[in-house]
Each structure stands twice: as structure tokens, then as C-alpha cells.
Amino acid sequence: MKAITTFLGGLALAVTLTSCEADVVIGNPVVEPTLNEIMESHEIWYLDLNSSQGPLDVPFMTRAFTLSFDYGTLFANNNIAGIGRAGAGLGIDVGAYDGFGDLLTINHDLDGIHEFRVIVRDFNRLELRDLVSGTRYFLDGYSVNNFDYDRLFYNNIQYFLQEYQTWEKVYTSNEGAINEFDEENFLRFLPGSDADIFQSSKDRNGTNAGNLFYDYEGEYWVEDVTPGSLNKHLTLDYDFIGNDYFDLYVIDDGTIELFHESSGTTYEFKGKGRIVIKNNTGSKSRLLDVNRSREKKK
């Protein structure tokens, strides 16, 4: 991995920033960086989808939390589970890239070739403009040492819950009042068009994930206990008993703890069948949340 440099600092970057919307200018290679050098100048580029403008129709861009450009190889962090460790923080190899002038060509392993015009907004912020749709994507640059993987994880726990085929209950505390949730042995979390949904099953512990029968389906929400907090509330919308409220704690990348507020009971669930996300097939998408956010602003 190319070490983080200050190549874009000082005079070199200043030459490229000739206006508020500066094109990448290729000139004297000693002073002015090539496009590949710009893409490789930061180890991690966070994909700020909430600032994007236009239709989000490039699948691998709506799946990725971060992109990394490493000597022609494109890496992406698509999964929240294990983020910060996969690929030494860069994620998984998802394709190849090359830059010429201000044109960046990405050949994704599954989504094919996409071309973007690159505009330098700041020394650590880039705009990638899709040549087909005109959609504007924004990337913020970091080194792996100063990128807050924990914050990214806790801000996206709803996706973490979706990254396993199912969650199996493995522990119920002796403390707490008897309640109807005691009977639920499996939970599955899925993306939905209007809201994310969960399914629950009373099948026996040890049942194979592919053989489960889910008795119930409803909406779920993950919210901060206080704005910006790492502590989370999970709400499961059960029509027949009303909403169930839990304090949600992450024990490790495959185990969660749910404290049932009304009964005082603590449960632990382990993830079964981790889903490694590389493209848009059968996986969650950040696109749903971005579209919902846009609808709310209208």
C-alpha cells in the first residue's frame, strides 16, 4: 500500500485548485500530480452518499462505504462487520482503475466499466461525475490511521444487522419477567423500500438458516440513545403486542446483546451465514436510506 503523502499539500495542490470547481490540470509532473497520483494520495476515500446529486444508478457506489485506489487495484469496504480489518482497513479487491487527464475509468469485477470526470474540491475532497448520468459523487480522503472505523460502524448498525442470513438466540438471562419475546429464537433483518424490515421465527435452536420458517414480519428501527451516541435503541414493530423496545449492544462482529426494556430480560444473538457484499445481488444498499432522506427533505 502506498504510504500517505503530502503530495497534494502546498504548491502541488494549489496549482490544481484554480477555482471553486477546479479541473485536474496535467502539466509539469514535478509540480502537478497526475490523476492516478491524486486518487492514490489518500489510503481511504469515504463515499459521502448523502451529498451526492443525481440518480444513484452505479451499483458498486451505493454499496461501498469507502473506496481505495492502490496502484491500479480498486478496494472497497462494503461490509460493516469486520470493517477496519479486512484488507488492512481497505476492504476487498473489487476491480481495477486507471486515470488519464481528468477521466477516471473503473472496471468493477461485477458491475463493469464506468467512467467519471474527477474534480478536485479540496486537498482531501474529490467529486466524481458520472459521464453517463451526470450524477455527482463526493469522496473524502483519510489515512487508515486517522479514519474513524468505530464511528462508521455505529452510524450504520442497521446494515450490520443485515449482513447475516439470520441471528440465533443463544442466551436468555434468568433476570427479567416472562414475556412473549422469550419465544422468538431467530431474527432476520432485511432492507425494505419504505422502511427496513425484520422477520422472527420460533423454530428450535440449531435449525439451519435455510430451513427456518419466519412466523412474523414487521418494520424495525435503530436509533441513537442521544444524538451522535454510540449507544443504540432497537425497535421491533410487532402488531399483535405493540412495539418491542431494546437497548442494543454489539459484543463482537458476530454477536449482539438485546436488553428488553419492559421485562428487564437480556438476550444474546449470534449471526449465522455472514454475507460478504461485493455487488448489488441479494444485499443491502445505502441507496434506500439516501432516497428516504431525500423524500423527507421535499
List the domain range (segments joined by +) for residue 128: 10-148
> Is residue 5 in some structural domain?
no
On whether both 170 and 52 belong to a single domain, the answer is no
pLDDT, mean over the chain: 85
Let me know whether 169 and 119 are in one domain: no
Cα–Cα distance for residue pair 213/220, rounded to 1 Å: 19
The answer to whether 34 touches 28, Cβ cutoff 8 Å, is: no
Is 290 domain-assigned? Answer: no
Tell whether 15 and 139 lie within a shared domain: yes
In a shared domain, residues 14 and 143: yes
Residue 223 has a CB neighbour count (10 Å cut-off) of: 14
CB proximity list for 146: less than 8 A, separation 6 or greater:
none
Q: What is the rounded average pLDDT of the residues 16-28?
A: 47
* Helix-strand-coil split of the chain, %, nearest 5: 20, 40, 40
Per-residue pLDDT reduced to its tens digit, 28-70: 545 689 999 999 999 999 999 999 999 988 999 988 999 999 9
Instruction: Specify whether 35 is located in the same domain as 139.
Output: yes
Across 192-198, average pLDDT: 85
Same domain, 92 and 208: no
Assigned domain for 292 exists: no
Residue 285 within a domain: no
Q: Widest CA span of the chain, in angstroms? A: 74
Residue 297 included in any domain: no
Q: Which amino acid is at 97?
A: Y
132/213 same-domain check: no
pLDDT for the residue 16: 43
Q: Which of 153, 176, 169, 154 is nearest to 269 (CA)?
A: 169
Rg (CA), the chain: 22
Tens digits of residue pLDDT in 68-121 = 999 999 999 999 998 999 899 999 999 999 999 999 999 999 899 999 999 999
Specify whether 177 is located in the same domain as 70. Answer: no
**Phi (first) and psi of residue 3, to 5 degrees:** -65, 150
Task: Say if residue 143 is in the same domain as residue 170.
Answer: no
Q: Given this model, what pLDDT does residue 143 score?
A: 96
Q: What pLDDT sits at residue 226?
A: 84
Identify the three-state secondary structure at position 55.
coil
Task: Write down the residue that cell numbers 466499466 correspond to.
Answer: 113
In a domain, 154, yes or no: no
Domain assignment present for residue 1? The answer is no
pLDDT-derived band of residue 166, with 50, 70 and 90 as boundaries? very high
Whether 26 and 62 share a structural domain: yes
| CATH assignment of the domain containing 104 | 2.40.128
**Structural domain includes residue 214:** yes
Report, as an integer, the average pLDDT of 165-192. Answer: 95
Identify whether residues 57 and 125 lie together within a single domain. Answer: yes
pLDDT of residue 278: 63
Share of the chain above pLDDT 70, in %: 82
The span from the CA of 50 to the CA of 69, in Å, is: 22
Q: What are φ and ψ of residue 127, in 5° steps?
A: -110, 130
* Distance from chain centroid for Cα 275: 13
Say yes or no: 125 and 185 in one domain: no
Per-residue pLDDT tens over the stretch 235-272: 999 876 678 999 999 999 999 999 999 999 999 999 99
pLDDT at 239: 74
Q: How many domains does the chain have?
A: 2
pTM of the model: 0.80
Whether residue 271 contacts residue 186, with contact meaning beta carbons closer than 8 Å, is answered with no
